[in-house]
Homo-oligomer: A and B are copies of this chain.
Amino acid sequence: MKRELLGRTPAILNVGLETLVTGPRAAGAAVTHLDWRPAGDGEPALARALARLTGDARTDAANDAAVAGMLAARPHLVDVELRAEDIWPHLWEGGARLLTHAGAPLPWEAMCEPMKGTLIGAMLYEGWAQDEAEARGRLTAGEVRFVQNHDLGAVGPMSGTISPSMPMFVVRDAAHGNMAYTNLSEGIGRVLRFGAYGPEVIARLQWLGLTVAPALKSALAELEGGVDLRAIQSQALLMGDEVHSRNAAATALFHMAIGGALAGSAYDRARSREVLDFIAGTSQFFLNLSMVASKAIMDAAHGVARSSIVTAIARNGVTTAIRVSSLGARWFEAPSDVPVGLFFAGFAQRDANPDLGDSSICETAGYGGQSLAAAPALVQLVGGTVADAIAISREMHEIAWARNPDMALPNLDFAGAPASIDVRKVVDNGIRPLLTTGIAHRQAGIGQIGAGMVRVPMTCFTQAVMALAERA
Q: Which residues of A contact B (CB under 8 A)?
A: 222, 235, 238-240, 248-249, 251-253, 255-257, 259-266, 269-270, 272-277, 279-280, 376-377, 380, 385-386, 410-411, 413-414
Contacts and interface: CB of A to CB of B under 8 A. Distances in A.
The 3 closest A-B CB pairs, nearest first, are: A264-B273, A252-B252, A260-B276
A241 to B, nearest CB: 8
Nearest to A412: B386
Given A260-B272, A263-B276, A386-B413, 19 more contacts: A238-B240, A239-B239, A240-B249, A249-B249, A252-B255, A256-B259, A256-B280, A259-B263, A259-B276, A260-B275, A263-B269, A263-B273, A264-B272, A264-B274, A376-B411, A380-B410, A380-B414, A385-B413, A386-B411
Contacts of A222: 273
A275 B414 CA distance: 33
12 contacts: A222-B273, A238-B377, A239-B248, A240-B240, A256-B276, A256-B279, A260-B272, A260-B273, A264-B269, A265-B269, A376-B410, A386-B411
A239 B238 CA distance: 8
| Most B CB within 10 A of own CB, among A256, A380, A410 | A256
A262 B277 CA distance: 11
A252 B270 CA distance: 22
A255 B255 CA distance: 7
B239 A249 contact: yes
Contact of A411 (B263, B265, B411): B411
Contact of A259 (B239, B253, B255): B255
A295 to B, nearest CB: 25
A249 B252 CA distance: 8
A252 B260 contact: no
Contacts of A377: 238, 410
Contacts of A376: 410-411, 414
Q: Which of A238, A385, A414 has the most CB of B within 10 A?
A: A238
Given A385-B413, A411-B376, A274 B260 contact: yes
A410 to B, nearest CB: 4
A142 to B, nearest CB: 45
Contacts of A264: 269-270, 272-274
Contacts of A251: 256
Contacts of A380: 410, 414
A248 B260 CA distance: 17
Contacts of A411: 376, 386, 411
A380 B279 CA distance: 31
Contacts of A253: 252
Nearest to A266: B269
B239 A260 contact: no
Contacts of A256: 251-252, 255, 259, 276, 279-280
Nearest to A410: B376
Nearest to A256: B280
A263, A272, A385 — most chain B CB neighbours (10 Å)? A263
B249 A261 contact: no
B279 A261 contact: no
A401 to B, nearest CB: 25
Nearest to A279: B256
A415 to B, nearest CB: 11
A386 B374 CA distance: 12
Nearest to A257: B280
